[in-house]
């Protein structure tokens, strides 16, 4: 939790001789969400846009010339993220303060709870991707809803004795899969604090290499 311990930064700073690697796993969470988005999408509407995951998703998409409507009440937080983007892509990040701004956008990414009334602004045929817990209520029959970012474990995994929140057996949250990939790759760095956007594709490819598969197939 970024607000609670800086995404793990607190532990590393307090214990500089730590022998284990701290890994929040959210780089893979971002990768799973981003790889759900169809390649032909030109615009997305993003809530929770200044959170750890929201920031990474926005910066990744704008680099690919996808327009991101970032819903936030904070101009300061929006501008801070916008300044992180390459100069020639900053105009793809658009600050919006109302759900009405997305009434023509059919790709919504929910990083913050969206009420049924707020969902009513989405046009018919919208798909709701999400990284909010608990998941938003599927209140629109004319829209589709994605599940929380998760990955199916490699087929040769045995002896798994636990299930995760609302997930079927053999499926784990993407952040937990991210921790497993970190160990399997033998990476010696800590994955803490803000997500390194440059590592999103690297972590995604590593997960696929080790046999992890996304649950949702666009």
pLDDT above 70: residue 198: yes
Whole-number Å distance between alpha carbons of 200 and 27: 6
Q: Does some domain include residue 112?
A: yes
Going from the C-alpha of 29 to that of each of 56, 88, 194, the distances in angstroms are 10, 27, 13
Q: Does some domain include residue 194?
A: no
Give the domain extent around 134: 40-145
Number of domains in the chain: 1
Instruction: Count other Cβ atoms within 10 Å, centred on residue 98.
Output: 10
pLDDT above 90: residue 1: no
Whole-number Å distance between alpha carbons of 191 and 21: 8
pLDDT above 80: residue 218: no
Q: Does some domain include residue 30?
A: no
Tens digit of each residue's pLDDT (9 = 90 or more) over 120-172: 999 999 999 999 888 899 999 999 999 889 999 998 888 876 667 778 888 99
Q: Does some domain include residue 214?
A: no
Q: Does some domain include residue 18?
A: no
- Report the C-alpha dihedral over residues 35, 183, 63, 123, rounded to 10 degrees: 30
Is pTM beyond 0.85? Reply is yes
CATH of the domain at 120: 3.40.50.720
Q: Does some domain include residue 133?
A: yes
Tens digit of each residue's pLDDT (9 = 90 or more) over 52-93: 999 999 999 999 999 999 999 999 999 999 999 999 999 999
Q: Does some domain include residue 141?
A: yes
DSSP 88: G
Q: Does some domain include residue 14?
A: no
Contacts of 120 (CB under 8 A, 6+ apart): 140
């Amino acid at each position: 939790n970024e607000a609670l311990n800086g995404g793990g930064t607190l532990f590393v700073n307090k214990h500089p001789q730590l022998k284990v690697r701290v890994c929040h796993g959210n780089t893979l969470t971002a990768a799973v969400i981003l790889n759900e988005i169809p390649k032909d999408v030109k615009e997305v509407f993003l809530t929770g846009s200044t959170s750890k995951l929201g920031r990474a998703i926005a910066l990744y998409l704008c680099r690919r010339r996808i327009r991101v409507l970032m819903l936030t009440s904070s101009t300061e937080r929006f501008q801070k993220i916008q300044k992180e983007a390459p100069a020639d892509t900053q105009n793809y990040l658009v600050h919006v303060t109302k759900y009405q701004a997305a009434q023509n956008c059919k790709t919504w990414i929910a990083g913050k709870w969206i009420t049924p009334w707020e969902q009513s602004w989405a046009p018919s045929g919208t798909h709701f991707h999400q990284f909010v817990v608990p998941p938003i209520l599927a209140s629109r029959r004319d829209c589709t809803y994605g599940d929380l970012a998760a990955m199916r474990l490699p087929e040769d995994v045995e002896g798994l004795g636990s299930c995760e929140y609302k997930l079927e057996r053999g499926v784990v949250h993407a952040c937990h899969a991210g921790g497993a990939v970190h160990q399997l790759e033998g990476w010696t760095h800590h994955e803490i604090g803000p997500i390194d956007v440059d590592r999103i594709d690297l972590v995604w490819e590593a997960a696929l290499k080790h046999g992890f598969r996304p649950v949702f197939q666009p």
